[in-house]
Chains A and B, each alone.
Chain A
Amino acid sequence: MEKQLFNYLLRLSDSSLIIGHRLSEWCGHGPVLEEDIALTNISLDFVGRANSLYEYAGKVESKGRTEDDLAYLRNEREFFNNLLAEQPNGDFAQTILRQYLTDAFEIHFYEALAKSKDETLAGIAAKSLKEIQYHLRHSSSWMLRLGDGTQESNTRLQNALNEIYRFTGSLFETDENDTVLIAAGIAPNLSTIQHQWQKDVDTMLEKAMLKKPEKVWMQKGNLQGRHTEHLGYILAEMQSVHRAYPGVKW
Chain B
Amino acid sequence: MTAASVDTGLKASSERGALARARLLRGLLPALSLALVLIAIAWLNPRAISYFGFSLMLNLAIPIALATIAQMFVIAGNELDLSIGTFVGFVGCVTATWLKDAPLIGVAILLGSIGVYALLGALIHLRNLPSIVVTLGMSFVWQGLAILVLPKPGGKAPDWLLAIMAFKPPLVPFPIIAALLIGLVVHFGLMRTSYGVILRGSGGNPAALGRAGWSLLKTKIVLFALAGLFGVLSGMALIGITTSADANIGNGYTLLAIAGVILGGGEFVGGRVSPIGAVLGALTLALAASPLLTFMHIPPDWQVAANGTILIIVLAARVLISRRER
Partners in one complex: no
Mark B residues whose CB is within 8 Å of A.
none
A residues apposed to B, CB below 8 Å? none
